[in-house]
Amino acid sequence: MRHLALVLLSIAGPAAAEGARVRFDCLQDHMCAPDQPCPQGGEALDIVLAPQDVAADGSGTFQLTTGGETVPARSAGAFGPFVWGLNGVQHTLIYDGGRGSKPEAFMILHRQPPEGRGQLTRFLCRTE
């Protein structure tokens, strides 16, 4: 978690003015019971956050790029949640724990279409 904290805090405050960016390179994480087969592969997610107007605590606005689309996003703090809309769907990226000193974190992505049920997907993300 320490690595993730340093990466996320680097986009807050003065560093934001220098064009700092954070990239999450993620693969779907399958939570499987020990006695059950676990699927291989899954959804990939690549997100780049570029700070726009970010306070020292990490809250503020960002430009978020994913799937070739760049949209405005906002965050409540350095660890999120990060919220954005894309193609009529509200997205919320939530930090769900680190992996010690490794540059990885578990993230939950909630997708909420205008109508119907939302979808939760858990990802293991490397940060850069």
CATH, residue 106: 2.40.128
pLDDT for residue 68: 93
Q: What confidence tens digit (pLDDT) does each residue in 31-78 have?
A: 676 777 777 778 899 999 999 998 888 899 999 999 999 999 999 988
pLDDT at 100: 64
Half-sphere CA count of 54, side-chain side, radius 13 A: 33
- Cα separation, 75 vs 59, in Å, equals 5
Cβ partners under 8 Å of residue 65, min gap 6: 47, 48, 50
- How far apart are the two ends of the chain, measured CA to CA in Å? 13
Which range marks the domain in which residue 73 is found?
Answer: 2-127
Q: Looking at the predicted structure, is the pLDDT value of residue 8 above 80?
A: no
In a 3-state reduction of DSSP, which class is residue 5? Answer: helix
Specify the pLDDT at position 72: 97
Across the chain, what does the average pLDDT equal?
81
In order of 27, 30, 47, the CA distances from 125 in angstroms are: 7, 13, 10
Structural domain count, the chain: 1
Give the pLDDT band of residue 18 (cuts 50, 70, 90): low
Pair of tokens at residue 114: 């205008």
